[in-house]
Amino acid sequence: MNSFPFSIVETIVILFCSWWMFFFLVLPFGIKADADLSEKGHDTGAPQVHHLKAKFWINSLVTLLFYILLCIFKISF
C-alpha cells in the first residue's frame, strides 16, 4: 500500500489549479489605484505598485499549506 495520499498526476493537478485559484484571490490585495493622474492614455485603475514577486511567494506558500491540509485530511479519513 502506498503511504502517499495522492498520485503524481493528482498532485500536479491539485497544485496547478489551487495555485491559480489562490493567485487570483491574492492579486487584488494591497492595490492602490492612481486615480489622481490625468495623463492621456493612462488607466486610472492601474496600480501604482503591483508587488507581484511578493504575491507570487505568498501565494506559493498558501498553496503549499492548502496541499498539506488536503494530504492530512485524506490520510485521516
Q: 30-53: per-residue pLDDT in tens?
A: 887 766 666 677 777 777 788 999
Annotate the chain with DSSP letters as a single string. Answer: ---SSS-HHHHHHHHHHHHHHHHHHHTTTT--B-TT---TT--TTSBS---HHHHHHHHHHHHHHHHHHHHHHHHH-
The whole model's pTM is what?
Answer: 0.78
Give the mean pLDDT of the chain: 86
Is it the case that residue 20 has pLDDT exceeding 60?
Answer: yes
Residue 1 pLDDT greater than 60, yes or no: no
